[in-house]
Structure 1
């Protein structure tokens, strides 16, 4: 019987802990390949002591959002990306797609309406939000039946065993798709026809994005193992 680590449950886990571990893994991997780690590791920052209901911590949030948007603009300019940058602000705790909003300008933080403040104040089971993570937004360009779709990869141990597309017809390419109204379509890992073809010249085969999904998934799984090790409250028992 396999029992998941209790310290890895969303009741106590923090998203920022995972991204810190993933950043370290992505940098090492990128160094091995001689590539810019930004290509596989979106930027992020964190704000503590935020209270959306009372409006406290908004200065930190506005400052961090503005700084991150500027960093993204510089990267876009470096790579010739003609898109308007955005960030995703989400509760550092909790799951179920709650406590999330898209921000395209730091001034939006100052002008949050009551509905948005209420949405950002609590997550699942009424947990209060006091710490948020600001993530670089990555546009979702995959589509299924003209609806925006994002890939989700399933893993067991270090193996990619499958996945699905999360699809939402009422959301845009810069919005969170983990929301009511989403649907799911299996990812065709086994049947997809874009595997490299032996005997043909390099570059002839179509880009295999499914393989890339699996690479990112495996890096994230490795990062999760480091994260769990670092946050295990009983680590001394096993050392």
Structure 2
């Protein structure tokens, strides 16, 4: 059984009442993958806006493997120290990673964030030398439009992330740069300028699904389940 693990920030953990793009990808893989798989990770909850804590199980549809390693306000800065032991304990085979917005907004610049990416990859590979890692760049959001300095850091980090993926890619432990959803627009694909709504969930899931299919032969072309 192939064991996928999501590693992400608030866009990946989701909030109470949401499906999440994790759910959308599960639907897709369920219908197209053709071999047993599951999602693994030490966490299962959603973010609860009423308490500002990750304590909610109120998924719009809870009937899917909800395990993950994602957190509201967490980035490469937070996940890098955790990833080695988490890969080891959860026996993850594939990491689906969407991080960076929090780092660039609050903790590290583009170069420092890229250094954390390298440390993250090294730690994951130390736990599983054949781990596959798919990474998505930081998506365009409302702050990118409003803050020129932040926009420059996001663009620079995304360039560094693509270069890091190319530099560290290995046939035995592939590192895949996932192109951002081509039609993603924070005006219509988020509910607040950052966090995905239903269409945004499908676009993010679709971007990962297409990359997994085209590069690694996992699943098939993305078709949004009803």
Q: TM-score, normalised by structure 2?
A: 0.32
Q: TM-score, normalised by structure 1?
A: 0.31
Q: Which has the larger radius of gyration?
A: 1
Structure with higher helix content = 2
